[in-house]
Amino acid sequence: MRRRKKFLLVVGARPNFMKAMPLYRALKSKFDIFDPVLLHTGQHYDYEMSKAFFEDLELPEPDIYLNAGSDTHARQTAKIMMGIEDVLMGDNYDLVIVFGDVNSTMAAAIAASKLLVPVAHVEAGLRSFDRTMPEEINRVVTDVLSDLLFATEPSGLKNLKSEGISDEKIHFVGNLMIDTLISYREKAARSDVLDRLGLKLGEYALLTLHRPSNVDNPQKFGEIWGALMEISEKITIVFPAHPRTKKRIEEFEMPIPHSIRLLPPLSYIDFLALQMGARLVLTDSGGVQEETTALGVQCITIRENTERPITVEVGTNWLVGTSPDAIKDAAFRILNGESKTGSQPPMWDGHAADRILEVLEEWEPY
């Protein structure tokens, strides 16, 4: 009998879990061919940023937990690299699979490639072309080290080709995050989160904000917050705040009007339900830009650029920049009835995991 292909799937931070879940499950279902091992680096460790997703997404406890925790970028990346190196030296893995653009993604790619273990990158080729963004560094480094590159949208293919990555390594497979959204949409529709928060369908805006460029500088954050306070005079804003943002709100002593409902981070199902029921979403998240496009919900992206241009080109994403006037203008236009008619990006059909599985079945370990 042929040896099963042993894969190490590395997750570490909130946006990784919903991307890993459908692939992990698909690999598990072919247990005669694949032996997937789930490693959690511990980059995110709070219940609301980690364990809650394992519960909602019905993922098993990770097989390996590294306990990296928070630290500066270099220290956190180094700790994860050391942990992954130990794991890879202790066993024979055929492939390390990494997701998205967080420090765990890059750290695992570096540790694996130095030990000559091939790397597969899910969500390859996305580029904001903004190297002040830590995630952009993680994307570029991970892609250059990867042997299999799974792209979610056409811009990813174009970027990888223009960076000289050979065609046979690149596979356009669609979006695992949208596989997860499609499989949990019905469950989210049954969530009672709107009742629990006393909200009515279509009568609130949903906000997430956590990019360092938006929240770490008191003046910048203050300007954006000013715009949000004005918008909240017209519509209640529900704001499940990322731990980093909550810290900044306290540190900068931001005023919190009643019309901005500051909440802890929400579980996947509750947050999905809130996206589905929102009049509009305001965000600087990568994943939320994609999910709102998949749901056809109007999304104002508070950033100067996006690494996910398909959401603007065919989806419902309004990329408005970070000036308060631009944010308010877009929100008031939407509240006055304007909307972008979105369509679904190619291959965001719930079958990305199947397509990745096909590639991995064909792929032979070296």
Active-site annotation, residues = 210
Candidate ranges 125-133, 160-168, 260-268, 346-354; the one touching ligand UDP (CB under 6 A)? 260-268
Q: Does position 176 bind ligand UDP by CB under 6 A? A: no
Cα gap 192→239, rounded to integer Å: 17
Is there binding between residue 83 and ligand UDP (CB under 6 A)? no
- Does 208 bind ligand UDP (CB under 6 A)? Our answer is yes
Is 18 an interacting residue with respect to ligand UDP (CB under 6 A)? yes
Q: Contact, 231 vs 325, CB < 8 A?
A: no
Residue with tokens 């408005």: 320
Nearer to ligand UDP (CB atom), residue 240 or residue 309? 240
Q: Are 105 and 78 in contact (CB under 8 A)?
A: no
315 binds ligand UDP (CB under 6 A): no
Of 94 and 291, the one with the shorter C-beta distance to ligand UDP is: 291
> How many whole angstroms separate alpha carbon 308 and alpha carbon 366?
33
CB of 91 to ligand UDP, least distance (A): 29
**Cα dihedral 304, 126, 28, 86 sign:** negative
Q: Contacting ligand UDP (CB under 6 A), which of 24, 93, 99, 271?
A: 271
Task: Work out whether 268 is an interface residue with ligand UDP (CB under 6 A).
Answer: yes
* Matching residue, tokens 């306290």: 250
Residue 103 sits in the site that holds ligand UDP (CB under 6 A):
no
Pairing relationship of beta strands 299-301 and 280-283 according to DSSP bridges: parallel
Collapsing DSSP states into helix, strand and coil, what is residue 356? helix
> Which C-beta is closer to ligand UDP: that of 146 or that of 208?
208
Closer of 87 and 104 to ligand UDP (Cβ): 104
Residue among 8, 9, 11, 14 that touches ligand UDP (CB under 6 A): 14
Q: How many residues in the shown chain lie near ligand UDP by CB under 6 A? A: 15
Q: Measure the CA–CA gap between 271 and 170, rounded to whole angstroms.
A: 32
Minimum gap (Å) between residue 291 Cβ and ligand UDP? 5
Q: Does 16 bind ligand UDP (CB under 6 A)?
A: no
Shortest distance in whole angstroms from residue 288 CB to ligand UDP: 5
Tell me: does residue 156 bind ligand UDP (CB under 6 A).
no
Query: 201-224: buried (b, 16+ CB within 10 Å) or exposed (e) per residue?
Result: eeebbbbbbbbebbbbeeeebebb
Q: How far apart are CA 157 and CA 185, in angstroms?
A: 28
Q: What is the DSSP string of 87-114?
A: HHHTS--SEEEEETTSHHHHHHHHHHHH
Residues from 237 through 256 that contact ligand UDP (CB under 6 A):
240
| Under rule CB under 6 A, residue 22 binds ligand UDP | no
Whether 88 and 114 have beta carbons less than 8 Å apart is answered as: no
Pick from 77, 175, 285, 311: which binds ligand UDP (CB under 6 A)? 285
Binding interface with ligand UDP (CB under 6 A): 14-15, 18, 208, 240, 265-266, 268, 271-272, 285-288, 291
